[in-house]
Structure 1
Amino acid sequence: MIPCSHAIAAAIKEKISVESLVSEVYSLDRLTSAYRDAIFPICETGLDREHQDNGGLSGVEIFPPATRRPPGRPRKRRILSAGEIKMKNPRKRHVCSRCKTTGHNHATCKAAI
Structure 2
Amino acid sequence: MPCSHAIATALKANVKVEGLVGDLYTINYLKAAYAEHVLPPVELGSGHRLADDVASITLNPPATRRPPGRPRKKRFFSRGEVKMKKIPRRYCSRCKGLEHNRATCKQAI
The alignment's TM-score, normalised by the length of structure 1, stands at: 0.38
The alignment's TM-score, normalised by the length of structure 2, stands at: 0.39
